[in-house]
Amino acid sequence: FIDPFRLCLLQALDARKHGAEIRTYCEVIDFEVNDKDEIKGVVFYNRVSGATESVKTQVVVNAAGPWAHKVAKSADDKLPIRLNKGAHVIFDRRIVNVGVTVKAIDGRWIYLFPHENTTLLGTTALDTWEDPDTLVASFDEIEYLLQSMETVLPSIREARIIRTMTGVRPLVPEWKVPEGKVTRGYQIVDHGENGGKKGLLSFLGGKLVTCRHMAEAVTDLVGTKLGKEVACTTHEQPLPGNEDDVDIIALSKEYDISLHALERMRARRGTEMVKVLELTKEHPEWKTTICTCEPIIEAEIRVAIREEFPQTLNDLRRRIRLGTGPCQGTFCTYKAAAILAEELDLPGDDFLVDILDFRAERWKGIRQSMRGEQLAQEELAQGMYCCVGNLDQSDVDYDLKPWEEGC
């Protein structure tokens, strides 16, 4: 199973190594277009600084997934798309060590797969017209998945569900076709060739497993449009950290860090884990485990903050799986927030708001899946945050962020 967040990050880090500038938290809101309908620039809203900025460009690749039609709309172009909701149920540990597939009540294939330190049960597939930002798994989706897997794994309901995860597939808009028959292939829509803005290219469809191929195809097309006929070679290049294997047994002895922690670190960083280990020579105290579920040591959090451009705890979750294990951040959030605040020099109120944001984001996936032992776990989490951390009583002097004004 791929770690989708890590794959995305490694591609960004690799691009940066080759001269790209990575701008997170920048939302495309408009395009600069000349009187020949040619794209000349992109206008974006910087959610961190609150400033509206722009860059000059002749070609734009719209890879906004289930928001791609909205980006096209801001260029006054149409992009028909078929949005398809999918949900996963996540268990607290590896309840299987092999993949299990089974046909669901409607004849669709569903699966149960070990993923990192957890297990994923998925997935549903439903046409949706809702806002992808607010979608959560429904009770029906959870029951559909459990009931189907129960036919081959009767004890599945005894396992602890820690949360659900919901996403939206940006499918090619095939009409009068049942969802399961819609292609999972991809298209690159050249708006200029279809009476729209010249220089705007939009992705429809595709899969995570084909994303590198998709990126190559569009890079070659951009090259052609810019008059640079050099074929993309990324399929021949390993992503950062994947150049070689790592002997974690030797490293465990050399740095006196547990094999388990190093095994997980290797999965995330490969050869690049040496940067984390070198930091522990300077600061042996940063060998402390911060997230015990994963596990993640303090030095890795510091390297992630310094090199992988996180702004928030939620970003750290996506970078290194902080808070994604069985305790869902009950024990690591405060500690990680303090490290983030120190590294980014954040004021105290931002520190508290970040913790609240992190909990709110986790809660979106936890709320509807709570049952059995997970109820007790949530009681514990609430006790930690409200009684020990006093988070519900904290007097947070919170200034609205620019994009929240008027909400």
Ligand X SMILES: Cc1cc2nc3c(=O)[nH]c(=O)nc-3n(C[C@H](O)[C@H](O)[C@H](O)COP(=O)(O)OP(=O)(O)OC[C@H]3O[C@@H](n4cnc5c(N)ncnc54)[C@H](O)[C@@H]3O)c2cc1C
**Minimum CB distance to ligand X, residue 333 (Å):** 23
- From 200-208, 300-308, 363-371, 380-388, span contacting ligand X (CB under 6 A): 200-208
Instruction: For residue 246, give the 3-state DSSP assignment.
Output: coil
Contact track, ligand X, 376-395, x by CB under 6 A: --------------------
Element (H, E) at 54: strand 52-56
Among 7, 28, 102, 356, binds ligand X (CB under 6 A): 28
Which single residue is written with the structure tokens 């199973």? 1
CB nearer to ligand X: pick between 74 and 252: 74
Of residues 209-268, those binding ligand X (CB under 6 A): 209
211: amino acid identity, one letter: C
Q: Does 207 bind ligand X (CB under 6 A)?
A: yes
Which single residue is written with the structure tokens 């495309």? 28
Nearest to 200 by CA among 58, 73, 67, 56: 58
**Per-position DSSP letters for 324-364, written without gaps between them:** -STTTTTTTHHHHHHHHHHHHT--HHHHHHHHHHHHHHHHH
Q: Does 206 bind ligand X (CB under 6 A)?
A: yes
Task: Tell me how far apart the alpha carbons of residues 95 and 271 are, in angstroms, rounded to a whole number.
Answer: 29
CB nearer to ligand X: pick between 124 and 330: 124
Tokens standing for residue 96:
């299987």
CA separation (Å) from 46 to 18, 40, 402?
24, 19, 10
Task: Tell me how far apart the alpha carbons of residues 243 and 271 are, in angstroms, rounded to a whole number.
Answer: 7
**Minimum CB distance to ligand X, residue 91 (Å):** 16
Q: Does 71 bind ligand X (CB under 6 A)?
A: yes
Q: Does 313 bind ligand X (CB under 6 A)?
A: no
Q: Does 65 bind ligand X (CB under 6 A)?
A: yes
The number of residues that bind ligand X (CB under 6 A) is: 21
Of residues 143-172, those binding ligand X (CB under 6 A): 167-170
CB nearer to ligand X: pick between 82 and 88: 88
Among 63, 135, 162, 279, binds ligand X (CB under 6 A): 63
Q: Does 66 bind ligand X (CB under 6 A)?
A: yes
CA separation (Å) from 190 to 39, 77, 78, 195, 202?
12, 11, 12, 9, 7
CB nearer to ligand X: pick between 88 and 317: 88
Among 3, 5, 15, 27, binds ligand X (CB under 6 A): 27
Q: Does 62 bind ligand X (CB under 6 A)?
A: no
CB nearer to ligand X: pick between 73 and 283: 73
**Minimum CB distance to ligand X, residue 145 (Å):** 11
Nearest to 54 by CA among 45, 62, 63: 45
CA separation (Å) from 61 to 42, 57, 65?
11, 11, 11
CB crowding 175-185: b at 16 or more within 10 Å, else e = eeeeeeebeee
CB nearer to ligand X: pick between 28 and 33: 28
**Minimum CB distance to ligand X, residue 358 (Å):** 18
Q: Does 123 bind ligand X (CB under 6 A)?
A: yes
- From 201-209, 228-236, 257-265, 335-343, span contacting ligand X (CB under 6 A): 201-209
Q: Does 90 bind ligand X (CB under 6 A)?
A: no
CB nearer to ligand X: pick between 172 and 257: 172
CA separation (Å) from 402 to 24, 27, 50, 71, 405?
16, 13, 6, 21, 6
- From 206-214, 262-270, 279-287, 341-349, span contacting ligand X (CB under 6 A): 206-214
Which single residue is written with the structure tokens 């991809």? 186
**Minimum CB distance to ligand X, residue 79 (Å):** 12
Among 208, 249, 338, 376, binds ligand X (CB under 6 A): 208
**Residue closest to ligand X, measured at CB:** 65
Task: Tell me how far apart the alpha carbons of residues 47 and 23 are, in angstroms, rounded to a whole number.
Answer: 11
For residue 196, the 8-state DSSP code is S
Residues 189/79, Cβ–Cβ less than 8 Å? yes
Residues 111/122, Cβ–Cβ less than 8 Å? yes
- From 63-71, 155-163, 281-289, 336-344, span contacting ligand X (CB under 6 A): 63-71
**Minimum CB distance to ligand X, residue 183 (Å):** 12
Binding site for ligand X (CB under 6 A): 27-28, 63-67, 71, 86, 88, 122-123, 167-170, 203, 206-209
